[in-house]
Structure 1
Amino acid sequence: MDETIGLFAGEGDLSVEIARRLFERGRPPLVFSFGEKTAPLEKWALEVTRIERPALGELLGKLRSRGIKNLVLAGFVPKSLIFRPDLLDDDLRGILSSLPFRDDHSLLGAIVSFFESRGVTVLPYRDIIPELLAPRGTIAGRQPLPGEEEDILYGLRIASALVPMSFGQTIVVRGRSVVAVEAMEGTDETIKRAGSISGGGVVVKLMRPDQDERYDVPVVGTKTLLKMREAGIPCLAVEAGRTIVLGGDLFRERAKQWDMAVTGVVPAPSS
């Protein structure tokens, strides 16, 4: 009999999709939800436990008490929590104090090491939803216009230089000029800020080349398209094979309805 999988579920639709796929395989997960809305998860979960704060020791204790040895980490957790030590437990505060740099790559890698050094294997969720990885070429909507193609190529150059430093996973480019770069605020807020500056242009989204694919694989979905529409940005380029596209038919319908171009790209290898 397959062992039960634990799922730490942050905000967003990714955790729900993972829970659904596990359920369909006959392995409904034991969900520990950090998001406020647990109802979408309850349909697919063996059980849902609400986690009020990012307490690693508490989560580890719950996993051990249920005999859970495999864990998936998925969904959005605000990184700004690192500035609220009162909400963190001793284990997470200890990790933060030990890190020379607190970028996503270092912090998430240390969290994975925390669990794995204590006997809990962190599983790569991309293996659960491989068909949702972006293909190369047109994903939804129309093809990019010539000017958008130029901005995509320029954006790939800039993003490829930034992501190894663990920021700039999303950038917005217009007229071969960088309008906005994602830092701690997240993709949606980056798009919103770009819209207030320029409107138009393209959103380019890449993953760090050496990113551990057990966590933090870039995700886009229908909400991403809505934020782009509100910002007046009609083109989205994501890294093929390394970006998860959520929303299925609705994503494709919205891209067509709103005359958007969504394309999968492969950055040139670094020299």
Structure 2
Amino acid sequence: MLALIAGTGALPTEVVAQLTERPLICAMEGFLPDDLTADIVFPLEQLGSFIADLKARGVTQICLAGAVQRPAIDPSRIDAATLPLVPVIQKAIMSGDDGALRAVIGILEDAGLQMRAAHEIAPGLLPPLGCLTDAQPSEADMADAVRASGILRAMGAADTGQACAVLNGQALAIEGIFGTAWMLKSLTQRPDAGGGILFKGPKPGQDRRADLPAIGPDTVTDAVAAGLSGIVLEKGGVLVLRQEQVIAECNRLGLFLYIRERAA
């Protein structure tokens, strides 16, 4: 039996829509899914009891999908089943994004639950290789994609963002804690004539079973407002939500969408 721990955003709904059987939908307090009704809502302070409940219900597999922030811990709410996990939870909260996810995955796997990636159970989230739009990238755009891939590798070493904008080999902007939409909004007042690409990919060495970067129709609109010419994604490393709508929006607005092989 599969349980989906759903956070905010469009991803949980996309995952459920692609499944033939509805999973047990769970959510952490304060981060309920936007368009799904959770069967179980649990506080982080009772994670141990939540895991025990899952196992009692016959859950053997679990998928993490959607955005969840690091919550404040109320020591008075920690129950007996969660107490042994407190050191790991505290370390996770103090870690970067990738370190926190690894800690959470470790807790779930130590409890005997198999982790399943969102794109593993809903493979339609990953677009195919190549250019998916009428507009095509230029040789300069492809060179910028190579440069952007290198920038992301450097960003990944610091466990920061998963996206950057590049033009003529120069970084126009890099993603930080406020996300891709904020980064693109920062380019709407750029002083040049426009151009360049948005590049997205996972961090080097990232556990791809959770927190893969994603784009959706709003990303296309934001990229156009930022004056960019196209979007380049790493194959197998970026989820595309509402894929048909994304491609249609790119074609309508004259943006290219290119899926590039993963850099060696």
For 2:2 and 2:189, the matched residues in 1 are separated by: 43
For 2:23 and 2:252, the matched residues in 1 are separated by: 36
Q: Which residue of structure 1 lines up, in the alignment, with residue 128 of structure 2? A: 135
1:114-141 CA distance string (max 9 Å, x none): 1111222222222112233132220234
Are 2:28 and 1:31 aligned?
no
Given that 1:134 and 1:238 are in contact with CA atoms closer than 8 Å, whether structure 2 keeps it comes out as no
Q: Which residue of structure 2 lines up, in the alignment, with residue 69 of structure 1? A: 60
Q: Which residue of structure 1 lines up, in the alignment, with residue 11 of structure 2? A: 14
1:11 is matched by which residue type in structure 2? T
For 2:76 and 2:182, the matched residues in 1 are separated by: 25
Question: Structure 1's 229 and 36: CA in aligned 2 closer, same or farther, altered over 3 A?
Answer: farther
Question: Structure 1's 95 and 185: CA in aligned 2 closer, same or farther, altered over 3 A?
Answer: farther
- Counterpart selection for 1:51 from 30, 41, 45: 41
Shift of 1:187: 1.9
- Counterpart selection for 1:211 from 202, 206, 215: 206
For 2:149 and 2:76, the matched residues in 1 are separated by: 36
For 2:163 and 2:94, the matched residues in 1 are separated by: 20
Corresponding residue pairs, total: 254
Task: Please give the secondary structure, in 1, of the residue aligned with 2:100.
Answer: helix
Are 2:160 and 1:160 aligned?
no
For 2:73 and 2:189, the matched residues in 1 are separated by: 33
Question: Structure 1's 29 and 202: CA in aligned 2 closer, same or farther, altered over 3 A?
Answer: same
1:129 is matched by which residue type in structure 2? A
- Counterpart selection for 2:252 from 248, 257, 270: 257
- Counterpart selection for 1:183 from 165, 176, 188: 176
Shift of 1:101: 6.4
Shift of 1:158: 1.4
Task: Structure 1 unaligned segments of length 5 or more: list them.
Answer: 43-47
Question: Structure 1's 268 and 30: CA in aligned 2 closer, same or farther, altered over 3 A?
Answer: closer
Task: Structure 2 unaligned segments of length 5 or more: list them.
Answer: none
For 1:58 and 1:170, the matched residues in 2 are separated by: 37
Q: Which residue of structure 2 lines up, in the alignment, with residue 45 of structure 1? A: none
Are 2:224 and 1:225 aligned?
no
| Most deviating of 84-93 and 224-233 | 84-93
Q: Which residue of structure 2 lines up, in the alignment, with residue 121 of structure 1? A: 114
Given that 2:12 and 2:33 are in contact with CA atoms closer than 8 Å, whether structure 1 keeps it comes out as no
Shift of 1:87: 10
Identity across matched positions, percent:
25
For 1:233 and 1:88, the matched residues in 2 are separated by: 50
TM-score normalised to the size of structure 1? 0.81
Question: Structure 1's 134 and 67: CA in aligned 2 closer, same or farther, altered over 3 A?
Answer: same
Q: Which residue of structure 1 lines up, in the alignment, with residue 165 of structure 2? A: 172
2:36 is matched by which residue type in structure 1? L
TM-score normalised to the size of structure 2? 0.83
Shift of 1:264: 0.9
